[in-house]
A = this chain, B = another copy of it.
């Protein structure tokens, strides 16, 4: 049975700030530069979720992408879109709001529900700007 990788893109617009609570604004600026601006800034984030599985011979699908999309929207987009990543998102509490940490957190949120659909989570990719993106493969 051929194994295929399928990817779904979802988008969210959010505010965030990179900083460590125990440091002063100046110390944070030395580490995170303009990303540490105390009054927040924001992005149009693009999220690419890749799952992997056998192509079901009868259906012709690895899995119905609509279900993947619904999962991502319910578990992630509805909690983070038009929100403040540092202040509003439960699974980011106590974490630095970097794109790296975001990708790991999304992975942890999605891994079990996607397995419950009978497929395997392969990659979480987050594009923060046209010039940078992060990928996490659960390693």
Interface residues of A (CB under 8 A from B): 2-11, 13-16, 18, 20, 31, 33-35, 37, 39-44, 50, 55, 58-62, 64-66, 69, 81-84, 87-88, 95-101, 103-104, 129-137, 139
User: In the complex the two chains form, what is the Cα distance from A4 to B135 in whole Å?
Assistant: 6
Identify which of B5, B33, B43 contacts A135 (C-beta below 8 A).
Answer: B5
In the complex, are the beta carbons of A98 and B61 less than 8 A apart? Answer: yes
User: Taking the full assembly, how many copies of this chain does it contain?
Assistant: 6
Name the CB-closest residue of B to A6. Answer: B134
User: In the complex the two chains form, what is the Cα distance from A33 to B61 in whole Å?
Assistant: 13
Give chain B nearest CB distance to A67 CB in angstroms. 11
In the complex, are the beta carbons of A7 and B133 less than 8 A apart? Answer: yes
Told that A6-B132, A39-B84, A55-B100 touch, could you supply 4 new A-B pairs with CB distance under 8 A?
A9-B132, A31-B64, A39-B88, A41-B83
- Chain B residues near A15 (CB, 8 Å)? 15, 39-42
Name the CB-closest residue of B to A3. Answer: B139
- Chain B residues near A82 (CB, 8 Å)? 34-35, 37, 41
Give chain B nearest CB distance to A27 CB in angstroms. 12
**Most B CB within 10 A of own CB, among A11, A35, A95:** A35
In the A-B complex, the 4 residue pairs with the closest CB atoms = A42-B42, A60-B96, A39-B84, A34-B82
